[in-house]
Amino acid sequence: MKKFWKIMNIVYEKIIMVVFVVILLIVMYAAYDTWYVYDHASDDSYRRFRPDSVNAAEIDSPITSDMVGWIVVDDTNIDYPVMQGYDNSQYLNLDPYGEYSLSGSIFLDSRNSSDFTDPYSIIYGHHMEYGKMFGAIDDYLDDQYLSSHRTGTLIVGRNGEKTYRLEIFYAMSTDARNEMVFDTTHYEELRQFLENAGFVRDDRILCLSTCAGDISSTRTVVFAYILEN
């Protein structure tokens, strides 16, 4: 009997050791995964390929031909190429180089015109920690922050064919199924909503959208006027 319990103790110790190793590996993987995602979201190497009204993008730019522009929001981390896929899933997990990345890309709604001439355009981006990707737009829900961070730039075209000023004027939280915001065919309904809120202008409107933290069905959206320089 003593021999039996001795064997059982050895087996128990080995099981505990295996469980401990498995837990350790899971923790290590989770830490690596978090670092990997953040590291990719923090990669700003592509900024050297940003075009402007004077300089076109480098001929050998590794950013894919799906790039339709560039967006900069002043005094934030938002300084990214804008991609446009064949649908709104393509660039959820592809970086601007067309490589797999959990942080994905900033991308224009596939239903919008790539030259931003529509009366209403929507740009999406993942919500990342430390203000990376579109994590920075959370701050716009604070009226005081919004009032002091209203400016940005929209560069249109892979070679910077056109540059517009952005004037941010409104932010809110909404449900991801809100067709008024996320269906471009409901623009007139959105325009009426904004007019009722006191924003009565004929300028084209750009919406920036991201998830509201871990609440998957809620989106934070920021609206900006697209203005001629």
Q: Is the pTM of this model over 0.85?
A: no
Q: Where are the domains of the chain?
A: 45-228
Distance between CA atoms of 92 and 199, rounded to whole angstroms?
A: 31
CA-angle at 190, arms to 188 and 194, nearest 5°: 115
Pairwise CA distance, residues 49 & 70, whole Å:
10
> Under 8 Å CB-to-CB from 188, ≥6 apart: which residues?
none
pLDDT in tens, 157-192: 988 899 999 999 999 999 999 999 999 999 999 999
Whether 180 and 189 have beta carbons less than 8 Å apart is answered as yes
Rounded-to-integer distance, Cα 221 and Cα 210, Å: 7
| Distance in angstroms between the alpha carbons of the first and the last residue of the chain | 89
Three-class DSSP category at 54: coil
Domain 45-228: homologous superfamily in CATH: Sortase (2.40.260.10)
pLDDT less than 50: residues of the chain: 24-41
Residue 116 contacts residue 207 (beta carbons within 8 Å): no
Output the pLDDT for position 34.
44
Identify the pLDDT of residue 18: 58
